Amino acid sequence: MSSCEILPFSATLPDTVIFDLDGTLVDSAPDLTGALNATLATLSLAPIPEDEVRHMVGQGVRKLLERGLEAHARPMNSAGLDALSAVFVDYYAAHVADHSRPFPGVVATLRWLSARGVKLGVCTNKPEALARQLIAALDLGQFIPPLAILGGDSLTVKKPDGRHIIATVEALGGDLDRTVMVGDSAADSNAGRDAGIPVILVSFGYTPIPARELDPEAVIDHFNELPATLTRVLDRHRARA
């Protein structure tokens, strides 16, 4: 594929690749910002700029709301957060893909990997129903089956717990020893490490900490770098095992 780095003939691709969603596959910050600000408006709180919201994303709806409230020095108890979460989810579900789009190179890379038999899944701290809705709305479901989309509410644990990734691999019938995690944050790198698999981070995601400071096996600046990077980090990881 012309948009991906050329692999040597002998290169071995992973059996399975697990992706984070927000900030990795999809630039969802515009719609998350809209939903957060619509929710804050119900409390007569001022909107938060998208550039700030980007660094609040990654640990689920409740944590996003907590961070939004912290920005206004407006703490809220657990019951209040539960009620506010429902407001957020209702709004976001109606606007999940108004402005969200796959990052450049994502669709071509997923198509390339899928055509070569690589199993593809999503492990996200976003609620599962919203993750499935977003993936379907952006037509990424042609590469990622619904059963392989595990959200922050799918299990009793979530990233950075490695069991979240392991369960996603199991849902695909994948081989954990030949799996790579692709994400954008400390939650992704820590979950991959906990699961015992190599991690590739994207440099363009939502983490407030630069990806290269999170000690992944590799960092990519564009999705067309992913196929060759997958092979390289998996070979290196298996050689150390």
Token digits of residue 166: 């392991």
Q: Flag whether 20 is marked binding.
A: yes
Other Cβ atoms closer than 10 A to 98: 12
From residue 121, alpha-carbon distances to 17, 20, 22, 164, 174 in Å are 6, 9, 14, 12, 10
From residue 193, alpha-carbon distances to 100, 101, 179, 237 in Å are 29, 28, 12, 11
**In the block, residue with structure tokens 């993936």:** 135
- Identify whether the C-beta of residue 88 lies closer than 8 Å to the C-beta of residue 96: no
Active site residue 188: no
What lies within 8 Å, CB to CB, of 51 at 6+ separation is none
**Active-site residue identified among 15, 20, 27, 31:** 20
Q: Flag whether 22 is marked binding.
A: yes
- Residues at the binding site are 20, 22, 184
Which residues belong to the active site?
Answer: 20
- Residues at the binding site for Mg(2+) are 20, 22, 184
